[in-house]
Amino acid sequence: MTFYDNRLKQVPTGLRKVLYLNWQLVVLIVAVASVGILMLYSIAGGDFDIWARRQAQVFAAGLVLMFAVAFVPIWFWRSMAVAAYLLAFALLIFVEFKGKIGMGAQRWIDFGVIQFQPSEMMKFTLVMVLAAYYDWLDNKRVSRPLWVLMPVLLTVLPTILVLMQPNLGTSLMLLLGGATVMFAAGVSLWYFVAVASLAGGAIAGVFLTRGTPWQFLHDYQYRRIDTFLDPTADPLGAGYNIIQAKIALGSGGWSGKGFMQGTQSRLNFLPEKHTDFIFTTLAEEFGFVGAFSLLVLYALIIGFCLVSALQNRDRFSSLLIIGVAANFFFYIAVNLSMVMGMAPVVGVPLPLLSYGGSAMLVILVGFGLVQSAHVHRPR
Amino acid sequence: MRRTPKDKEDIARSLTRRTLMLGGAMTAMVAALGVRMRYLQVDQADEFRLLAEENRISIRLIPPTRGLIQDRNGKIIAGNEQNYRVVITREQAGDVELVMRRLAGIIPMTPEELEETVNDVVRHSAYVPVIVRDRLSWDDFSKIAVNAPALPGVLPEVGQSRFYPRDVDFAHVVGYVGPVSERDLAEREDPDPVLRLPKFQIGKIGVERWMDDTLRGTAGTKKIEVNAVGRVMRELERNEGDPGADIRLTIDADLQNFTQARLGIESAAVVVMDVQNGDVVACVSSPSFDPNLFVRGISHVDYQALMENDHRPLANKTVSGAYPPGSTFKMVTALAALEAGVIDENYRVRCPGYLEFGGRRFHCWSRGGHGTVSLTRSFAESCDVYYYDIAQKVGIDKIAEMGRRLGLGVRHDMPMSAITEGNMPDKAWKQQRHKAEWRIGDTINASIGQGYVLASPLQLAVMTARIASGRAVAPRLVRMIDGQEIPVPEAPSLGIAESTLAAIRRGMDEVVNGERGTAKSSRIVDVSMALAGKTGTSQVRNITAAERARGVVSNDQLPWNRRDHALFVGFAPAAAPRYAVSVVVEHGGGGSAAAAPIGRDVILYALSGGIPPLDAYPASQRGRIESMLKDLSLRDPTTGAAPKAEKA
C-alpha cells in the first residue's frame, strides 16, 4: 500500500518498522478518539477534568501499547494464541467466583490502578486462537463436522461464562466475532444457514405458541421480552432512555445545535451520555453532518483493515485482522442501532468514543495486532 | 502447517470471496445506519426539535401583585406585606414524605399538618410548587435556608400576602381574601388559570370579593429552562403581567375609625353619606372582627367565638341588617300624604293618646296624648296618631311608592356582600306573600315604620340624603380605580316640590333644635353645623294586652335581646345639607337616648374633619362629652396603627 512496499523484499527490522506501519489506520484511530475526547469535554459542560482528561490519558497509554504490540513479530503472537486464550478463559472462571460486583454484574478484577475485565481480553484472544486454529487446520477439513465443533466450543464456552456474569452485550460480541472468523475461514455456508434457521425457528416457536396452552415461557417473561423489543411501550421506564436519545439525535437536525449547545445532554435528559449513549450528544451538537462523518470514519477504519487482510498472504494474519475488524464493526453496528432505536437496548459501548478504560485498551491492543500483521506480512 | 501451492491458492481465493461477502454485508449495514440517521435527523428533525424544546422549556405563571384598597384620601386599608414561606416541588423532592419529615424536624409541625401537606403535594402536578408553610419567622426561614442541601425540592421564598392594617375597621366593607376553594372555581365559567396556583388568594367577601377581577390583575408568565429532574436552570423569557388596579373607596378611614370606636361594644350600624354625590364616607357595623385572622387561616376556637357571639360580629349590619325603621319612617308617610294632596302643610290632628279604628285602639307613644298637633310638631314630638290619621287618608300604595322613591325596599348596588332589599310592603305584596287582604291596621302600623316595613341602615341613609338634597342620590363606595376618578352622574331630581321637602326638613330641624324635640339633647349649637333629624324606636316584640294591662315594662327591665331598637337618621348642616347619617343600635332602647348622640358625634366628626370641637356641643354637656371623646381608643391618624392596649 505505502510508497515503500514495492522496494522491500524482506520484512523490516528494528526501528524501520515505524515506516511500514499502516499509518492511514493510525490517523483514523487518532481522529475518532479525538472526537471522543472532545465530546466528553462537551458533555461535562466544558470541564476537561471530569471525563476527558482520563480518557486522553488512557488513549495515550493505549496508543503506546498499540505500537508495542505492533513491533512484536506476528509469529510470536501466533505462538502465544493458545496460551493467551487459556489465560483469559481461566480469568473468566475466576471472576465468576471472585470478581468485583459492579453495575449488578461480576465483571471486574481490581488491580488497584486499573480495573480489568477478562471478558474484554477474551474478545481478542478468541479471535487469535480461532485464527491460529484455522492456520493450523488442513484446508480440506475446515467444513467437517468434528473440525467445526472445535471452534464452536472455543466460542460458545466463554460466551456462556460472560452471559452468566451477566453481560449480554459482550457475550453477543464474542458469538458474532467467533462466527465471523469461522465464516472468513471458509466454513461451509450451510452451517450458517442451519444455525440461522434453527435460531429463527426457535424464536418463531417461542412467539407463535404464545397464548396457547403449550407456550414455552411464562407470561411475565413474554412481557419482559416485549419491553425489551419495544421500549417505547414504557416511556417512563425502560423506554425513557431510547426516547430521549432519539429526541437528542433528531433535534440535532442537519447541522446540529453547535458545540456544547446540546440541550438534551446539558440538561441531563440523556442517560449514560458519556458511555453507551455518547453518539447522541455528538449527533445533537453536530447534526447529521457530524454523525454521518463519524460513520464514514468508522467505515474507513474497517475498510483499511479488510484491504490489509486481503493483501496479507499469511492465513493467521488475515483471519486475525478480519476478526478484529469484525469485532470493531459489530460494536459500532449494535451501539448505533440501539441509540437510533433500531435495536433493543443492550449495554454495548461505541468503540474509541465511549468513556471507559479497559474497552479502549482492548480496542487498541486489537489494532496493535492488526498493525503487527501488517508490518510483518510475508513479502 | 506446510501447504501445497494449489492449497494456498484455494485458501486465498476462498478468503477473498468470504471477505468480500463480509465487506458487502458490512457496507449494507453502514448504509442502513446512514439512512436511519438521515431519517431521524433530516426528515423528522422538526418533530424532534419540538420535543426537545418541550423537554427543556416549561412555562410558569407569575402571580400578579394584588391591587391596594385605600380610603378616600389614599390611606391603606388592604395592602400586601412580605411573607416568608417555604414551598416544595414534588419532581425535585423525589421522596416527598422523607423530605417533609426532615423539614418537620427543622420547623415545628404537627403530624396532621405533615400528612396534609404531603397529600396536598401529591394532588398537584409534579412541577407545581406547593406552599408548605406561610408566615415563617425569620429564624425558621433561615434555618431552612441553611439546611437546603438536605432538603431537595424545598425552597424558602419571599412572597406577598394580604394585610389589613386597619383590621377591625374595614372587616365588613372590604372583607378579606382566602385560598381559592373548589366552590370558587365552580362559580366561575372560565376561571383565570392563575386561580389554580396552589394557595392563590382571592377575595371571599366584601370589596375584596366583588371587585376581585379589578384587584387581581393579570398573571405574568415566565419561560424557564428545566433539566431532566425539573430543576430550573435559567429563565429564558419573562412577561411580568399586570398588577391589580388600586381601588380608592369613598370611605374616610379616620371617620370610619372614629365611628367604630364611638359604637364601642354596642351591636349597631352607622352609615354616613354625602348627600350630593352619594359617597359613603363611613359604613360601620359593630362589633367587628379582625380580617387578618381569616387570611392567616382562622383557628377553630376563634371562629367558634365569632359564631356564638349574640352581637353577631360577622354580620354586616349596615347593608344586610333589615330593621323596622320605626318613627324614622314618618317622613315617608308625611311626604306621601303631602304629595298626594290629601293634606297640606298646615294640616292638624287632635291626639288624645290613641286612635280608635274599627273597634281597636292604636296607641300613641305618649299615653296622655299631644293635643292638637301640626306637621312640624308631629315630627318634633313624634306623635303617632298624626300618622295613623294621614296614612288612612293617603293609603298604603302611595306610601309604598314614596318609600321606594326614597330608596326603601330597593336594593342599592355596592361591591359588598349580602345587601338586603329590606321590605316596602303594599297591597299587592301582602296578597302575594301572605295570600291575605291588606287591612287598615296594616297601614296604621306601616305609617310609623312598624309591621311589615323593613329597612337597612344603608337604605335609611339613602332616604335621608334624598330628603336633604331633593335628588335621587345613589350610594357609591368606589371613588377611584387605578388613579382614575369614577365620574358621578348628576342625581336626577326626586320630583317632589321644594316647598314640600322644606316642610319636612323644617320638621326634622325641630326634632333636634326645637324646644320639645325628641333629640333636643343631641343638638349642635354651632349653627354652621346644625343637625336635623328624626329619632325612632322600633319594637321587636308585640306588646300583648296582658302586658299593657300590667303597664308596659320599661326597656331597662327586659333581657337585652327583647329591648327596642334605637334609630336615628339625620343630616347636617341643617341649612345646607352635606352629610346624611343613619344609626341603628340593636336593642339600644330609645332612639333619642341611644342613637341620636352617636349620629351627632359622627356627623360632627365628618363636618369638622377630625375630633368634634367641644364648642359645637351645648355648654351643659361639654364636660361629659370631653371625657367621652378622650376615652375613645382611636388609631394614629397617619399610620393607622392600632391604639395601645388599655392599662390593666
pLDDT in tens, A352-373: 999 988 889 999 999 999 999 9
Phi, psi of B61 (to 5 degrees): -85, 140
Average pLDDT score, chain A: 86
Choose the closest CB to B14 out of A186, A250, A268. Answer: A186
Contact B41 A252 (CB under 8 A): yes
Interface residue of B8, B16, B26 to substitute, partner A, most A CBs within 10 Å: B26
Interface residue of B33, B41, B91, B229 to substitute, partner A, most A CBs within 10 Å: B41
B-contacting residues in A 139-168 (Cβ below 8 Å): 139
Number of H helices, E strands in chain B: 25, 21
Interface residue of B15, B20, B44 to substitute, partner A, most A CBs within 10 Å: B15
For residue B221, give the 3-state DSSP assignment. strand
Instruction: Identify the architecture of domain B81-160 in CATH.
Output: Alpha-Beta Complex (3.90)
Rounded CA separation A189/A166 (Å): 31
- Chain B contact set for A299 (CB, 8 A): 26-27, 30
Measured between CA atoms, how close is A17 to chain B, in angstroms?
26
Domain residue ranges of chain B, discontinuous segments joined by +: 81-160
Phi, psi of A108 (to 5 degrees): -105, 150
- Chain A contact set for B36 (CB, 8 A): 337, 340, 342
ipTM higher than threshold 0.95:
no
Answer with the residue of higher pLDDT: A142 or A225: A142
Closest residue, chain A, to B36 (C-alpha): A340
The answer to whether residue A4 scores a pLDDT higher than 50 is no
Choose the closest CB to B16 out of A266, A310, A333. Answer: A310
Contact B55 A322 (CB under 8 A): no
Q: Is residue A236 within 8 angstroms of chain B, CB to CB? A: no
| Cis peptide leading into residue B492 (ω within 30°) | no
Q: What is the pLDDT of residues A98-121, one digit of tens each?
A: 766 555 555 666 665 566 788 888
Choose the closest CB to B56 out of A135, A252, A267. Answer: A267
Q: Which residues pair with A347 in a beta bridge?
A: none
Contact A246 B48 (CB under 8 A): yes
Choose the closest CB to B40 out of A250, A295, A309. Answer: A250
**What is the pLDDT at residue B240?**
83
B-contacting residues in A 73-112 (Cβ below 8 Å): none
- Chain A contact set for B21 (CB, 8 A): 183
- Going by C-alpha positions, the residue among A84, A102, A78, A106 that lies closest to residue A94 is A106
Choose the closest CB to B40 out of A135, A249, A268. Answer: A249
Q: Is residue A343 within 8 angstroms of chain B, CB to CB? A: no
Contact A249 B15 (CB under 8 A): no
- Chain B contact set for A322 (CB, 8 A): 19, 22
Contact B42 A288 (CB under 8 A): yes
Sequence-ordered alpha helix ranges (H) in chain A: 23-43, 52-71, 74-98, 118-136, 145-163, 168-185, 189-208, 219-229, 238-252, 263-266, 278-311, 315-339, 357-375
Choose the closest CB to B22 out of A183, A263, A288. Answer: A183
Q: Percent of chain A scored above 90 by pLDDT? A: 49
- Chain A contact set for B229 (CB, 8 A): 268
Per DSSP, B42 falls in state I
Closest residue, chain B, to A185 (C-alpha): B15
Interface residue of B40, B56, B58 to substitute, partner A, most A CBs within 10 Å: B40
Per DSSP, B410 falls in state S
Q: Is residue A251 within 8 angstroms of chain B, CB to CB? A: yes
Rounded CA separation B338/B391 (Å): 11
- Going by C-alpha positions, the residue among B65, B60, B90 that lies closest to residue B80 is B65
- Chain B contact set for A180 (CB, 8 A): 22
B-contacting residues in A 350-369 (Cβ below 8 Å): none
Check: CB of residue A309 under 8 Å from CB of residue A322.
Answer: yes
Choose the closest CB to A268 out of B37, B52, B227. Answer: B227
- Chain B contact set for A315 (CB, 8 A): 11, 15
Domain residue ranges of chain A, discontinuous segments joined by +: 15-71+237-311+335-379, 73-185
Interface residue of A267, A296, A307, A319 to substitute, partner B, most B CBs within 10 Å: A267
Interface residue of A139, A280, A317, A327 to substitute, partner B, most B CBs within 10 Å: A139
pLDDT along chain B (648 residues), means of 10: 77 90 94 93 87 78 90 93 84 81 84 84 75 83 84 83 91 92 82 78 92 90 74 76 92 95 93 95 94 88 91 93 94 95 93 87 87 93 94 94 95 91 94 92 92 95 96 95 91 92 95 93 93 91 61 72 91 95 92 93 94 92 92 82 58
- Going by C-alpha positions, the residue among A135, A318, A191 that lies closest to residue B20 is A318
For residue A320, give the 3-state DSSP assignment. helix
Rounded CA separation B622/B616 (Å): 9
**Which is it for strands B532-538 and B565-572: parallel, antiparallel or unpaired?**
antiparallel
Contact A253 B45 (CB under 8 A): yes
Sequence-ordered alpha helix ranges (H) in B412-531: 427-434, 440-447, 457-469, 498-513
- Chain A contact set for B55 (CB, 8 A): 244, 247, 263-264, 267, 269
Measured between CA atoms, how close is A179 to chain B, in angstroms?
12
Interface residue of A135, A192, A251 to substitute, partner B, most B CBs within 10 Å: A251
The answer to whether residue A265 scores a pLDDT higher than 60 is yes
Q: Is residue A295 within 8 angstroms of chain B, CB to CB? A: yes
Phi, psi of A105 (to 5 degrees): -140, 150
**What is the pLDDT at residue A325?**
96
Kind and range of the H or E element at B618? Answer: none
Rounded CA separation A81/A100 (Å): 27
Q: What is the pLDDT of residues A20-42, one digit of tens each?
A: 899 999 999 999 999 999 999 99
**What is the pLDDT at residue B646?**
45
- Chain A contact set for B45 (CB, 8 A): 250-254
Rounded CA separation B454/B460 (Å): 10
* Size of chain B, expressed as the number of residues it contains: 648
Q: Is residue A246 within 8 angstroms of chain B, CB to CB? A: yes
Rounded CA separation B331/B460 (Å): 11
For residue B84, give the 3-state DSSP assignment. strand
Q: Is residue B226 within 8 angstroms of chain A, CB to CB? A: yes
A-contacting residues in B 13-72 (Cβ below 8 Å): 14-16, 18-19, 21-23, 26-27, 29-30, 32-34, 36-38, 40-42, 44-45, 47-49, 51-53, 55-56
Contact B33 A139 (CB under 8 A): no
Q: Is residue B236 within 8 angstroms of chain A, CB to CB? A: no
Choose the closest CB to B225 out of A267, A302, A303. Answer: A267
For residue B154, give the 3-state DSSP assignment. strand
Cell of B447: 305609617
